[in-house]
Amino acid sequence: MELGLIRSLMDREFYEEHRGARCPNRLFSKDVRKIKEVIDNAMTKYDRTVTPDEIEALFMSNNPSMTTAQKGAYSSLFRNIKKEQKLGSDIAKEVLSKLFQQIIGEDIANLGFDYVNGSKSSLEPLRALLEQYGDDFTPSMNIQWDDISIETLLAKNDLEARWTFNIPSLTRKVEGINAGHLVEIGARPNTGKTSFHASLIAGPGGFAEQGAKCIVLCNEEGYHRVGARYLTAGTGMNLHQVKENPSYAQEMYSKIRDNIRIKDSTMYDMNWVESAVKSSKPDIVVLDMGDKFATYQGFARADEALKACAIHARQIAKQYECAVLYMSQLSAEAEGKIVLNQSMMEGSRTGKAAEADLMILIAKNPQVEGQDEEDAQRHLNVVKNKLSGWHGSVHCELDYRLARYTA
């Protein structure tokens, strides 16, 4: 590495940029340091780029008293330098910067040792060192600033949703979603979370019918049970009707089947999810359940792990230009309530919510004593909405047999 740097320092432009205190001789080993001193003298005297042959000639002429063995050792060293390719300017700068930081770090560590053993009491030497070299620990960057022209901003901001919701009462308030959006959907158990995303994707006018390529990664229910909901939502037939008339069911199902992929993802984490998205290139990703993809190792608290999981989901949405539907449980606080809020998200009251572009919490009417059948009415609480800004509740009905939400 140091021989490559020595080769780079023979370039006049690179040398001028890093001369003096930014490239002290003590960066180099003893023998290479002597060659560096010759380069310093040559640059001062000749003010141009020099070659390894020229530096070798100057070195030998400046040291006539060397023994035969010493001359042989330095000749070998120069042969190695000549074999080195000059480092690219950006690489040479980075290597030089790292080496420089290391020696300054050693100086700081030595001062620290002096303070510990009592040989120094004043902080002035440390302050002076940091003041002198502080800027050298802040990397300079060639930043490619983002385009904020009118044309680009209009194109990048979502004036119209690419994928619209197929629930009219919801569409009037939110319209739909686009690539890069993280949508968090929460509900208590047995409220209809899986039916909700099945209806949005496979139901009439759903995302699949609109042409979206959708992948559903399920780690709570088996893929066959999730798939059955997609089948009934897509065909408008319950499973008994599908069994009685499979040819008609196939005709209806084939309209959307190619746009839907389902995978049982039990025991996988968000790194696996990212790999699946990267290879599949979907438009819409469903994580059911999102929290169960979290990795808890390395986190002091469960809410920190869940927040990290939601952050990763959002990063996936942005990096791979897809919309992510992140299904989540609500805490017992939401049981029996129609009006819900963000703090009812299970396990992470604020961490997960902070990452969402849109948050929809699903509620159902409380069970009435003596009621034989569960009330089909569902209340979609839009509690966070960075897309259209509207907050409130819209009402619809769930046909549980068909996994369809209707106005």
Considering only 154-158, 252-256, 345-349, which range has the smallest mean pLDDT? 154-158
Is the pLDDT reported for residue 102 higher than 90?
A: no
Return the sign of the alpha-carbon dihedral for residues 165, 168, 169, 173: positive
Mean pLDDT over all residues of the chain? 88
State the Cα–Cα distance between residues 22 and 96, nearest whole angstrom: 8
Question: pLDDT per residue over 46-65, tens digit each?
Answer: 989 999 999 999 999 999 99
Structural tokens at position 205:
């006018």
As a whole-number percent, the residues of the chain with pLDDT over 90 amount to 59
Is the pLDDT reported for residue 348 higher than 80?
A: no
Within a 13 Å sphere around the CA of 189, how many CA atoms are in the beta-carbon half?
3
* Contact in structure between 195 and 403 (CB atoms under 8 Å): yes
Within a 13 Å sphere around the CA of 403, how many CA atoms are in the beta-carbon half?
27
Task: Give the N- to C-terminal CA distance of the chain in Å, as an integer.
Answer: 69
Q: Could you identify the residue written with the tokens 């929460």? A: 186
For 16-156, where are the E strands, in sequence order?
A: none
State the Cα–Cα distance between residues 259 and 211, nearest whole angstrom: 7
Provide the 8-state DSSP code for 362.
E
Considering only 36-45, 56-65, 115-124, which range has the smallest mean pLDDT? 115-124
Question: pLDDT per residue over 358-386, tens digit each?
Answer: 999 999 998 777 666 678 999 999 999 99
Is the pLDDT reported for residue 315 higher than 70?
A: yes
Is the pLDDT reported for residue 139 higher than 60?
A: no
Q: Could you identify the residue written with the tokens 């998205």? A: 277
Is the pLDDT reported for residue 184 higher than 80?
A: yes
Domain 154-406 superfamily per CATH: P-loop containing nucleotide triphosphate hydrolases (3.40.50.300)
Is the pLDDT reported for residue 138 higher than 60?
A: no
Structural tokens at position 105:
């770090």
306 vs 86 pLDDT, higher one: 306
State the Cα–Cα distance between residues 218 and 225, nearest whole angstrom: 10
State the Cα–Cα distance between residues 112 and 130, nearest whole angstrom: 13
State the Cα–Cα distance between residues 244 and 372, nearest whole angstrom: 28
Alpha-carbon Rg for the chain in angstroms: 33
Burial class (CB in 10 A: 0-12, 13-18, 19+), 317: buried
Confidence at residue 243, expressed as pLDDT on a 0 to 100 scale: 95
Q: Could you identify the residue written with the tokens 């992929």? A: 261
84 vs 143 pLDDT, higher one: 84
State the Cα–Cα distance between residues 360 and 375, nearest whole angstrom: 20
Parse the chain into domains and list their residue ranges: 2-137, 154-406
State the Cα–Cα distance between residues 170 and 396, nearest whole angstrom: 9
pTM value > 0.85: no
| Nearest CA-CA partner of 85 in 18, 10, 12 | 10
* Contact in structure between 183 and 359 (CB atoms under 8 Å): yes
Buried/exposed code over 376-385 (b: 16+ C-beta within 10 A; e: otherwise): eebbbbbbbb
What pairing do the DSSP bridges indicate for beta strands 392-399 and 176-177?
unpaired
